[in-house]
Structure 1
Amino acid sequence: MLEIFLFALAMMYSPGPVNMLSLFAGITNSNWRVLRFCAGVGVAMTMLFVTTGYLGSSIMTPTLQGVAALGGSAYIAYLAIKIFMASFNKHQTIQEGQRNFSFISGFVMQLTNPKAMIAVLPIVTIQFPNAHIEGVSILMMSIILGAMAGGAPTSYFIAGNKLKYAVLNPKILSTVKRSMAALLLLVSGQFVYEATQLLG
């Protein structure tokens, strides 16, 4: 069972669009309500683990994963454009980005993230059976792993929150926003590429 948690930690806590957005939120937003975004990520992952664990990997066909990747790409590109446009606001405040980090935002982003299924499928199809996790145990493990998934962006948010005082200068803040927008557009492009591979 230890290998399940080690694999999940490696997959969930590595840099990705959700974790990078949370780091950005910590830098630009001191309001702890951003944690709703992290909760949305955790709930989405719990749902993916439960659904795939009980119904099997057959429901997540390459076509469905490709469609989800395209949806995720569009949503990430939308966020990137909003962040980029906000970087030109001369009267920007630290609280300004808060509306981009709602529970629904985290939930949708994680649900449409093809990397989420890369983490989920090996665990439920290989590691769960090897550890004899079945029945109610699937639900319990899904909740634990979902909480771990929510903890990943939370840790990035806390790190960003601690670093924010180094970037309160408006010029630096604008640069951070533009850099984040560029990174998100790259991720969006990667999602499109993955979708074309899945949709064949």
Structure 2
Amino acid sequence: MEIFLYTLSVMYSPGPVNFMGLNAGLTGQLKKTIGFFLGVGCAMLILFVVFGYLGSAAIPQSWLHYIALVGAIYTFYLAAKMLLANVESTQSQPAALNFFNGLWIQLLNPKAILVILPVTTIMYPAANIRGSMIFVVSLLISLGASGAPLAYALMGQLLGQKIANPVWFNRLNKVMGILLIVSGIFMFNDFLIGMRGP
């Protein structure tokens, strides 16, 4: 039970994936963004299964800062797309996020790896989760991971329905882009800390 509480509390906290879900809801793209949510869940399942069966040897600690760098660059790219988008009306929306956007942003998010490592290397063995149960529990947690940006998108959709003026959509889009940049800066900082070493 503590595994689910731990992972859900971390996954539902604000971060780049959830900001992107919120923005999708604000811009009225909830239905078009289902693939993005599935991509996030698939990325988490891949990471949980890899670390669940191979342990922390799958990705050495010394590689995490390089993953953070690639994640920061990809986050900056998505933020730029968000900042440059111009919503002229509630019917005119920027391109929807897709499955691969969700997959890559989550695979390249070093925070996801840092959340998964204690679960797979400490909590799974302590709860006697082995063999096929690793896949089953990982699948359940990954479904919860898909639900996090979906929940943010639903909140965004509720807020978006209250806003009729496209100027506000553009302003909120810019705010979401800036929040993504801040998330990318934290990832880039993780890269710099990793380069300095212990």
TM-score, structure 1 as length reference:
0.92
Q: 1:39 corresponds to which residue?
A: 38
Residues 57-79 of structure 1: CA deviation (Å, up to 9, x unaligned): 12222232212111111111111
**Residue 98 of structure 1 aligns to which amino acid in structure 2?**
A
Whether the 8 Å CA contact 2:68–2:110 is kept in 1: the answer is: yes
Aligned-pair identity in percent equals 37
Are the equivalent residues in 2 in contact too, given 1:66–1:194 (CA < 8 A)? yes
Q: Which amino acid is the alignment partner of residue 43 of structure 2?
A: A
Tell me by how many angstroms 1:31 deviates.
Answer: 4.6
Q: Is 1:182 equivalent to 2:181 in the alignment?
A: no
Is structure 2 residue 94 aligned with structure 1 residue 97?
A: yes
Give ranges in structure 2 of 5+ residues lacking alignment: none
Mapped to 1, the partners of 2:19 and 2:32 lie a distance apart of 17
Which residue in 1 is equivalent to 2:130? 134
Q: Which secondary structure state, in structure 2, belongs to the residue aligned with residue 57 of structure 1?
A: helix
1:83 equivalent in structure 2: 82
Deviates more, 1:182-191 or 1:162-171: 162-171
Pick from 102, 105, 108: which aligns with 2:104? 108
Superposed CA RMSD: 1.5
